[in-house]
Amino acid sequence: MPSVLFYVGGVNRGIGYVAKPAAKGIAAFRLNLETGAAELLGITEGIDNPTFVEVAKDGKSLAAVSEVGGWNEGLITGYAIDPASGALEYLSKQPTRGDYTAHFSHDNSGRFVGIANYGGLPITAKPNKSIAIYPRAADGTLGSLVAEVTHNGKGPDAARQDRPHAHCIRWTADNKFVVVADLGIDKLLVYRFDAQTGALTPHGETVLPPGSGPRHFVFHPTLPYAYLVNEMTCTLASLAFDAANGTFTLLSSASTLPPGGHKGTSGSAIGIAAGGKHIYVGNRVHDSVAGFAIDQTTGIAKFIGTTPTGGRIPRDFAFDPTGQVLAVANQESDCINLFRYQPETGALIPFGAPIQTGSPTAIAFHPTVR
């Protein structure tokens, strides 16, 4: 039966957005894609609050960021992956040059990683960098800082947008640009990227409606579009992307919630299904995954409904490498729930038993199915 490795990051020491930290470190599982049965292979300890994890595209390594309240800088730690056992071997770590390190990604060459620091300390606290770029060796070892940028400004919501809050960083498919969603200033910021040195040059920005709170975004796998979840307004923005010029145009914005009052709900994860016909967004407090159908001509995502996640506070989710299974991390229920993706309709069908793991905040699949 086909199976795949996946890793779960979580909260193992106090942080404001988790009620009772219950993780021990980075948990490794092997998932049977037919039955949904998951075997816990081990837990890598010795890391603080690995709240976001990602496996490199070559499958050789994994990196994790440490997001700890009160630290002036977070950490990004690299590990080598044993694909047979799932075990992680420590390689290196680097300071992230900013606090509340929330997200990172690998570039498309595998030679760099970029991190986004949300920033929770006073803006005068050093080093206060919003994003930073680090080189990555072939084995996954992380080198010293090569680029960093501090964002400026604030948004209309005094409680949430009193300063910049970088929340997601990704490369364009051609590796020419780095794009950052900043929740605090309601912008997508674009930087030209030097793929030889890792240097960044400011290139442009796209302004979102005031108070949107842009959180995470993804590019369509084959069409010239991108999709952005706005955390504070619980909306999904569809954007046209001009790859040659590195610019975005807002096409539409749709609610991630059904009609009615849903007080306290906030957007979280975003992901496109294999084939590019459907896109999904997490709704915390409403505790659902919202589904959208993507018009293959206009690129606009249209709401088709929500699916309960089977737990509380779905912070993250990820599709397995075959695109058949969506795994959802329910942060406050200490579990991951599985769903089968139905490509004809976009429906998500629950299957398998909940996978027990403490305070899950991030899921990363290995690219190899065996």
**pLDDT tens per residue across span 49-106:** 999 999 999 999 999 999 999 999 999 999 999 999 999 999 999 999 999 999 999 9
Q: Is the pTM of this model over 0.75?
A: yes
Start-to-end Cα distance in the chain: 8
Q: Which residue has the tokens 């991630």?
A: 256
**pLDDT tens per residue across span 300-336:** 999 999 999 999 999 999 999 999 999 999 999 999 9
State the pLDDT at residue 233.
98
For 19-26, the CB contacts below 8 A with 24+ separation are: 19/332, 20/359, 21/49, 21/358, 21/359, 22/334, 22/358, 22/359, 23/50, 23/357, 23/358, 23/359, 23/360, 24/358, 25/50, 26/50, 26/53, 26/62, 26/64, 26/79, 26/88
Q: How confident is the model at residue 261 (pLDDT cuts 50, 70, 90)?
A: confident
